[in-house]
Amino acid sequence: MQIKKKLNNSNKLYIIFFSSVLFINIIFSTSLNASSFKISDLEISEPFELNFNKEKVVEKGFIEAFHELISMITTSGDKKKIADTELIIIKGLIDSFTMSNERFINNKYYVNFDVSFPKKIVCNLVPIVS
């Protein structure tokens, strides 16, 4: 009778343990699934001259962020196919972006970019281009 009681108690302990592990796993795995790819701390610099255009700096940031994203999610053979993607398509893929730490040093303009690309659209685009 005592053996049966000990087995019953150990079964309850195993059930509580596995339930706890399952609960923790579900909580952490759902909170880690992000809805976008984020390229952070991308530094862009351009000479600050009379014909300086901030829009060109932003476009350069978009292109470099896109190339960094592609290098993260594709193989080297596929990078060559996607490398010539037009700027208008890249702009359509961008979910949001921020510019920070803008500064002028020795007639050069420096800025840091954070660019977010939505996972759903990017993951659907990559097989089409490949």
- Phi, psi (rounded to 5 degrees) for 45: -135, 145
CA dist., res. 82 & res. 110, Å (int): 27
DSSP β-ladder status, 96-105 and 108-118: antiparallel
Token look-up 């255009």 returns 53
The pLDDT of residue 112 is: 92
User: Token pair for residue 10?
Assistant: 């150990």
User: Token pair for residue 74?
Assistant: 């594709």
- Look at residue 85 and give its three-state secondary structure: coil
pLDDT tens digits in sequence order for the chain, 130 residues long: 566 565 566 666 556 655 665 556 565 554 445 677 888 889 998 988 888 888 998 899 999 988 888 888 777 776 777 777 788 888 888 888 888 888 888 889 999 999 988 887 776 665 544 4
The pLDDT of residue 31 is: 46
Contact yes or no for 113/65 (Cβ under 8 A) = yes
Token look-up 């087995």 returns 7
